[in-house]
Each structure stands twice: as C-alpha cells, then as structure tokens.
Amino acid sequence: MTNKITVPASEVRVNDHIYSGSGINAHPTFAWETVTEVRSEDGLVLLITGNLKGPHGEFWLEPDEQISVIRYAEPPATRTS
C-alpha cells in the first residue's frame, strides 16, 4: 500500500517518491522520482534523486516547505527465533 502525503521537506525520507513536474505533454506517472539521498546544507534541505555518479536531480527546499511525496508502508519486521 502506498500513501500520497504532504510533509515538510525536513521529513522527506530516502525511498520516498517526489513529483518533479510533468512538463509539456509528459505522462504524469513518469514524473515521480525516487529520493536516493537527503542532506541538510546551508540551512536548506537537499533532496537527490537518481545516482550521484550519473544523471541525477537535485531539489533545494526550505526545511518547513511543504512537499507531496508517495511513501510506501514499511514492511513488517521479521522475527528470528
């Protein structure tokens, strides 16, 4: 199960999906990108999508700026005996 929620940028997690905008004539489902890294730099939140060594996206946000994300439910913890 997934949830589309709105959170402050400071609460975005790795593996959340953020919407990078559809552009002209783009299919909206192709514009969701997976957050691969979250950093705090110079008082801002930096969200990185994709691979740092290759093409990637960077989104700079104020920590309290609201952003919509798709977040998958955490899998249940497995018990070992």
Classify residue 80: in a domain, yes or no. Answer: no
Handedness of CA 64, 68, 73, 74 (dihedral sign): negative
**Count: domains in the chain:** 1
CATH number at residue 14: 2.30.30.30
Position 40 scores a pLDDT of 95
Classify residue 81: in a domain, yes or no. Answer: no
- Local structure of residue 62 (DSSP, 8 states): -
Position 19 scores a pLDDT of 81
Q: pTM score > 0.85 for this model?
A: no
Position 2 scores a pLDDT of 64
Least confident of 5-14, 27-36, 67-76: 27-36
- Mean pLDDT of the region 8-12: 96
More confident residue, 15 or 25: 15
Position 26 scores a pLDDT of 54
